Amino acid sequence: MAKPTFAHSPLHQPLRLACGISIPNRIAKSAMSEQLADRHGSPTTDLQQLYAAWAKGGTGLLITGNVMIDHRAFVEPRNVVLEDAQFLQANKLWAQAAQANGSKIIMQINHPGRVAVLPLFKKPIAPSAIGLNLPAMNLIRVPRAMSEIEILEQIKRFATTAALAIQAGFDGVQVHAAHGYLLSQFLSPLANIRTDQWGGTPENRRRILIETVRAVRQAIGPDKILSVKLNAADFQKGGLSQEESLQVALVLEAEGIDLLEVSGGNYESPAQLGYAPDRSAQRDAYFIHYATALRQHSKLPLMLTGGLRHVDFMNQIVANGTVDLVGLARPFAMQPDLAKQLLAGQSVVEPAKIPAIGYKPVDAYLQLAWHAAQFRRISSGQQPKVIKGLIRTLAAFGPRMSFNILTQD
């Protein structure tokens, strides 16, 4: 394929979704955990300023870090919580800051299920009473299996948060069904060993996701973006397979979602960070094989996230129709104006070396800490700054994380 003229490259083209909303270009900032809410779960001015910087940088679609649908379960301290009108004004300001330069913004809505960090001394809920297969976690954080009443409650909570997001002015929502959170746990044969209508077969394991999507669509209406984030696979023996995930995607297409974001992995196998056991996931696009396979059977608009770094490759997969949006996450922590750079034909700069100890779950936390420190700099008007060394990385985030855990409302 001839190299495109970058003033008119495929990445420049707008994308009109079935709901009628047009995204001004094909570059999306995928969700990352900002941890910039206040102790009660309200968005702060720091969060507004962070998204204003990314919008000013030319990003077509901004997807928020996970917003909690239930104040009784946090992924991390200082997550935003949106379950009633209490913080509606702060969420309106957040949406407005992101839209000021023409970007579209959707709110990622989520429940952590068994991986809830907070509250510390309460059993998390999950499809089944099965803990994470990580040292100590399968002993100290064994979840409680949800009753059917609780399952129906959480479906309703997804819909309530989605409706509030639209009231706040967001262009839509993304239902998080990836990365080992609650809906992803229901999809996993390892985490979901139920024998009722919510488990046991592929159809039953995906039931809560489909019912959630239907409830959310009813809550937001036909003219707002309804996206789902789905694992291409869990990258665990016995977990959600690519074959089953492809079937889930086709069912989601039949439900009329507007956009599917393809990712992969979870806390036990963080493939979304490049730590997949499958060596093929170490290439330029971790989950390109899944996107290619799905495209053969589906016209559903696809957003591919994970490992995309080379602008020629991004333009190629958009031009040939494999994907419709390219999603990037971590590079936005060092290049707030990344979208402008990509639209000008420049690839992502060589990533900084982030400290690692060789144990995937801990290394995933170090990634989180390192990038969260950059978000705080960007939100205060500073330039990102490389943090070198394990001790400095822990010092930049560890005490703050401990304080946030202890003071979370």
Across the range 197-202, mean pLDDT stands at: 96
| Mean pLDDT across the chain | 89
402 in a structural domain: no
Confidence of residue 274 (pLDDT cuts 50, 70, 90): very low
303 in a structural domain: yes
Residues whose CB falls within 8 Å of the CB of residue 101, separated by 6 or more in sequence, listed in order: 55, 56, 58
- Predicted structure pTM score: 0.92
In tens, the pLDDT along 342-384 reads: 999 999 987 777 777 777 667 777 777 888 889 999 998 998 8
- Determine how β-strand 15-16 pairs with β-strand 22-23: antiparallel
Q: In the structure encoding, which two tokens stand for residue 39, read together?
A: 């102790």
176 in a structural domain: yes
| 209, 186 contact by CB (below 8 A) | yes
324 in a structural domain: yes
Query: CB 282: neighbour CB atoms within 10 A?
Result: 12
374 in a structural domain: no
Sequence-ordered strand ranges (E) for 232-278: 259-263
180 in a structural domain: yes
Handedness of CA 28, 34, 36, 37 (dihedral sign): positive
- Determine how β-strand 125-126 pairs with β-strand 104-110: unpaired
* DSSP of 185-235: HHH-TTT----STTSSSHHHHTHHHHHHHHHHHHHH-TTSEEEEEEES---
Residues 166 and 177: their CA atoms lie apart, in Å, by 20
By residue range, what is the domain housing residue 289? 6-351
Residue identified by tokens 């803990």 is 131
Note the pLDDT of residue 137: 54
- Could you tell me the CATH number of the domain that includes residue 321? 3.20.20.70
Query: 150-154, 184-188, 319-323, 372-376: which has the minimum mean pLDDT?
Result: 372-376
How many folded domains does the chain comprise?
A: 1
Residues 359 and 336: their CA atoms lie apart, in Å, by 29
Residues 244 and 136: their CA atoms lie apart, in Å, by 30
In tens, the pLDDT along 297-349 reads: 999 999 999 889 999 999 999 999 999 999 999 999 999 999 999 999 999 98
371 in a structural domain: no
406 in a structural domain: no
